[in-house]
Each structure stands twice: as C-alpha cells, then as structure tokens.
Amino acid sequence: MDITTIARVESSARRSPSVLSMRVSERRLALGIVDILLVNLALVVALAQVGDFVPSVDNLLGNAKWFITLAIVWLASAVFFDCYSLSRAANAISSVRNSALAVVAMSIAYILIPFLTPPLTTRGVIFYFGGLALVFIMAWRTAYARLFVQPWFQQRALIVGAGTAGRAMAAAMRAAPRNDANPYRGTGYELVGLVDDNTALRDEAIEGVAILGDNRELVRLVRSLRVNEIILAITNTQEISDDMLNALLQCRELGFRVVTMATIYERMTGRVAIDFVGRDLQMVLPMEDRAGERAFRVAKRGMDIGVSLVGLCVMGIFLVPMAIVNQLTSPGPLFYTQSRVGQGGKIFRMYKFRSMRPDAERGTGAVWARKGDDRITPVGKFARKFRLDELPQFINVLKGDMSLIGPRPERPEFVNALSLLVPYYRARHAVKPGITGWAQIKYGYGGTHQEARIKLEHDLYYVKHASILLDTYITLQTLPVMILGKGT
C-alpha cells in the first residue's frame, strides 16, 4: 500500500483519541450499572418527595433489601425486553422503546412484591416512582445512543490475515446494519486496516479497508494507528510464520491486546465460528476446570424436576380443550411421539401435542417442517405459535431425557446427514437437549442445511458456556416468544 494511504490512516488515528475507548464488556457493564443507579435514584426521590423517607446513609443501608430487589427486578425486565443488546442500545428509538417497556414491567412487578419492597401505599408514590424511572432511563438511553457511538469511545482494531477469515471478519464488521441485524453494530469497533505477509495483496483493499503492510511493520502500525485490539484472522495457526509470531508477541509485550477472529466472532454473535476454528477443540468445547460444574448440573436437574411438574399441571389445563378442537378440525391422536437424538447420541421418544395431519410424512419420509407448512392443522398453528405443542415434553424432562434449556433434539435421520456435512455437529450432544435453548431465542426457525449450520453455531456456544446465568437469560428471553406468539 502506498505511503500516502498509510499517512492518511495514521493522521486519522491522531485525530481520534483512544483513551476513552470502551470494550464490549465495558459497554454492557456501563449500561447495567447506570440503569440500576437510575431506577434506585427514582425510588429514593419518590419516597422522599411523596412519602416520609429520609435519604440518609443509615436509612439507605438499613433498607438495602428494597434496592437490591429493585435491581434484580429491573435486570429481569431489561433482559426480557432485550435492553442489553449493544446493536439495539446504539439505536435511540429502539433502545428507548424497549427500555420504556422494561420500566413499566419493572414498576408493576416491584409493587406486587411484599416484604422486600417499601410500603408503596399511595398512588402518588407509585406513579412518581414509575414516572421518574421512565424519564431517567429514557434520557440515559438516548444519551448513550448519541454519545457512545462517537470516535472517542470506539475500539480501533487491526486485522492480521487477509485470507478467507480476515475478509469474512472485515465484511462482518463493516456490514451496513439493517433493523439491528448486524451484531457488530453498536459495539464500537472501528476497523483501521489489515496486515498480511502475502506481498501479492499489498495493493488491495478489503471492504474499503487498506492492507497496510506485513509482519515487519506490525509493531509500528499498532503504535502509530493507536490500535486497541489486534484480531488474528488466520484459521490454521500452524501457518503463522516465525516472524509474524514474534511480531505478535512483541505487540502483546507492549500491552496491545491480541485476540483470535473466532473469539471476536463468538463475542459479537453468540455463535462458535465452526468455519474458522480449524481443529482447535478448545474453541468448540469447554476445556477449563470449572469448580462449580457439578453444582450447576445438580441445580439444573433440580430446576428441571420442579419446573416440569408445574409444566405438567399447565398441560393438564390445555389437555381437554386441545383434544376437543383437535378431533373437530383434524381427527386423529392427540399426542405425537418421535425418535430424537439426546445426550451422548442416545435415542429417545419425544412427546408433543400433534400439530400436523396424521399422514404428514406419508410418501415423503422425514422432512423438515417449514414456515407456512400446509401439513400443520388449524389447532396446530395456534399451538406452535405459543409453543403449547411442546408442553408434553415436560414428560421427557421429568424422565431425564431432556432438560428445560439446551439444544433442540434432532431426528436421527437428520443427525446422520448433518454430521457428514457440518463440522462438529455431534458436539451438540455433549449436553441434554432442551425444550428451549440459545439457538431458539437468537435464531429461531431453521429448515435447511445452511440454517442448521447457523443453529449449530449457537448450540455450540451454549455447550461451551452453559451456566445458571445463561440458563436464566434464555428463560427470560423465551417468555416473550411464548407470550407474544412468536413461535413457528
């Protein structure tokens, strides 16, 4: 790349101070902390103005349970309405709308909790609190969407490797957002250039971003361009030359962060980049020794049993109405069982309310369901929309074949085919399949091999990061799908 181009990029870097640059985790943390402070401030002001609460240190500490409860209720409401999606938070209209809904939900839930909340006995306190929280949160979210997209807060990134992985990374980071679809939107990444040892690429630009040099210029470039993060986009790490490796180590020695493209991809999208991890199993499966892993499994099983018992009671409520409507609109059995692949590749029979015609696969064999599938019965459309057809799966959860949260179990015919086409497909069987999961809330319906590949990337993310917090997040994000009828 010519000297003029490099000089122009370096001049731009000098005009864009990076001292205030915020990482992805720092952005989410800032959103959460300020949100919690503001809703608690709204409560204190409301109690002081309309009630008889004196905001002293002793009173605040003595009634800490009020504020801790409020923080928990707010976080649950905010997750329910997806308020911590950075792409959504960067859009003022979208962020304010969802945050306002979260405030309303939080206010209603909070006043219904006894003992752990202050005695909000008058309408004045309730409306004052809700109104203040709404104003505070909307003002803060608007300010965030306007202020934190400025260059001062952006992360300046340099990609090492201009091959397939590097080009895919550059394209993803610079893709124009459409309806918040680009997961890199709002994360604050500014791609300043690429570095590659292939001299044939020296005069090229990828996605409008220049290839600035090779390993000999890497250290100088990261210094002069004020780079915050170096993204290593070389899938086969064995191909990294000794000179490039030494340059990367020198950059790390100087305090610059070096991360792999697969790590960035996973952080931004919530998916494991199966096309760019090569044979690096630690990027696909959990390898670390987690102290709480056994406790998590025990707690998860306890939660499965408790919730499945409640779920079976709910199923009993819908049993008779669905049986009647089913016989009137599509005579046949009420329940439907199907072989599915569970943990460790074990085959089990999964139960569902029948939502298709009894002869749905006659003459075709096993085929994926699809949107607008004409095999679905009238009552089946309603049941699928609100996920009521999956209520009998609580039987599978109680038996231990399934869990509440996990990858959706697939049919053996599809597993055998997909295992040959998609790398790491069988790795999803490392955990129990679930009624809902990470892929269901992040991607939804999928009925092709390519969509199965994307869903697998989500499933592997769950396998790798499964925890109580992630399960709680998935549960809260599943509720809107059921309540608002977003199922398929």
Q: How many CB atoms lie within 10 A of CB 113?
A: 13
**Residue labelled with tokens 């590659």:** 196
Structure tokens at 137: 């949160």
CATH 3.40.50.720 domain locations along the chain? 3-20+150-269
- Please give the Cα distance from 193 to 3 (Å, whole number): 14
**CA–CA distances in Å: residue 53 to residues 41, 63, 303:** 13, 11, 39
**pLDDT value at residue 435:** 95
How many Å separate Cα 265 from the centre of its chain?
Answer: 12
**CA–CA distances in Å: residue 62 to residues 50, 59, 74, 183, 429:** 20, 5, 21, 42, 49
- Coil, strand, or helix at residue 477? helix
Please state which of the four CATH numbers 1.10.1040.10, 3.40.640.10, 3.40.50.300, 3.40.50.720 is assigned to the domain occupying 3-20+150-269: 3.40.50.720
Q: Going residue by residue through the chain, which has 488 residues, state the pLDDT in tens, using 9 for 90 and above.
A: 455 555 555 555 554 545 578 888 899 999 999 999 999 999 999 999 887 888 899 999 999 999 999 999 999 999 999 999 998 898 899 999 999 999 999 999 998 998 899 987 677 888 899 999 999 999 999 999 999 878 788 889 999 999 888 988 888 887 766 555 667 777 878 889 999 998 888 778 888 888 998 999 999 999 999 899 999 998 877 778 899 999 999 999 999 999 998 888 888 888 998 888 877 787 888 877 777 888 999 999 999 999 999 999 999 998 888 888 888 888 888 888 999 999 999 999 999 988 887 665 555 555 556 565 667 787 778 888 788 889 999 999 999 999 999 999 999 988 988 898 888 999 999 999 999 999 988 886 666 778 888 999 999 999 999 999 999 999 999 988 777 766 55
Structure tokens at 302: 């306890």
How many Å separate Cα 35 from the centre of its chain?
Answer: 20
